[in-house]
Amino acid sequence: MRLPISPQVRRALVALTATAVTAGTAVGPAVASGHPAKPPKSATPGAPGGEAKKEPPAAMSQAGGAQLGKPGDQVGAGAPALPPGLSALSWVVADADTGQVLAARNAHWPLPPASTLKMLFADTVLPGVPHDASRKVGDEDLKGMGDGSSAVGIVPGQTYKVPDLWRGVFLRSGNDAVHVLSAMNGGVDKTVADMQKKAESLGAKDTHVLSPDGYDAPGQVSSAYDLALFLRSGLKNKDFKEYCGTASAEFPGGPNTKGKPFGISNTNRMLSGIEGVAKYPGLIGGKNGYTTNAGNTLAEAAQRDGHTLVVTVMNPQEAKRDKVYTEMRQLLDWGFTAVGRATPVGTLDTAAPASGDGKAGTATGAAAGSSDSGLGALGWAGIGAAVVVAGGAGVLVLTRRKKAKSQTDAVI
């Protein structure tokens, strides 16, 4: 016997069905361009009729402390209230000097890193390629660059000095500069393998490297925790620190400039102050990134009152222009207020015991089971990605776009 369905229930079922159909609709491919991606006009993720809310894995790595393996916001006793309106899927605020993690959200969630992965590239390759070396670039050096890649404008046949190549990497997020430096390091395959070994040596268990420049590839992931490790490690290298903190420079010209150098500004807007983003007082520098798959990613280090903070932000969900910089600024301000007051919730020194006991803070999500794989239930195979360009603005390699079907630019 079938029970009668009231008109109210029938309308509710129809609405739920429509929502499910909407959520399952495929999104069309993005188009590569030289401008920042416009915020989508669709509803806020998680809202009725919008995208399904993204959720962290049920089990994440506990590297740096058990509390960092829990989903949700982790804040220690004595800390001030977190800034309102933080929408990033994952973030970490840490004291670079002591290694103490002051607060975090989903610290070990493996997510696509975009061009923030170039920090690991620099950690790996900077010490091995002589600073006074130079290279005459051949076509083979640029082979394998992803369609629509951000580039600083390297021209085959010209000779470039290593410092200029590194400025191309850090300021313009140039995948062309990454590939030339990779060639000087023994090739892309060797460089990728070297980067994976370096990540493991730093205790970055969430990171899986497939490209040296951060160009999306299915299964290539890192985490807010690992990005903090990469930046903290880089700050110990004076060249890394200089390059990531350079706001503007001149780059060797080519045929289009009749051989004259041309100016380049850092796409990290909190450092360069371009496109309406105010410079952050005391900023040391860092690295930004953007792809369609990764969203906006950003890692910054700043110094104030004798304290140095490292903050990483991955994929803000609120579709507002420059939201990644707004949330970074909020977290840096919060961190300088919290340092010395907040009980740490973990540590960046993965070989050392965590400062927190896993009970000092509060978590907005349910406690997770432990996993040292760094991926938990997600798995490498679970990371899907359309191949898109790695982060940072720059001159697009137009000759290599070849009717890109699902690429987008790297401007953030």
Residues recognised as catalytic: 115, 118, 173
Phi-psi region of 64 (alpha: psi -120 to 50; beta: other; left: phi over 0): left
Report the alpha-carbon distance of residue 12 to residue 188 in Å, rounded. 55
Q: What is the CA radius of gyration of the chain?
A: 22
Q: Is the dihedral of CA 5, 8, 13, 14 positive or negative?
A: positive
Which among 254, 288, 256, 258 has a CA at the least distance from the CA of 271? 288
Q: What angle do CA 396, 399, 401 make, to 5 degrees?
A: 70
User: Quick one: 287 exposed, middle or buried, by C-beta within 10 A (0-12, 13-18, 19+)?
Assistant: buried
| Structural contact between residues 45 and 53, judged by C-beta atoms closer than 8 angstroms | yes
Which among 147, 150, 111, 71 has a CA at the least distance from the CA of 295? 111
Report the alpha-carbon distance of residue 302 to residue 35 in Å, rounded. 28
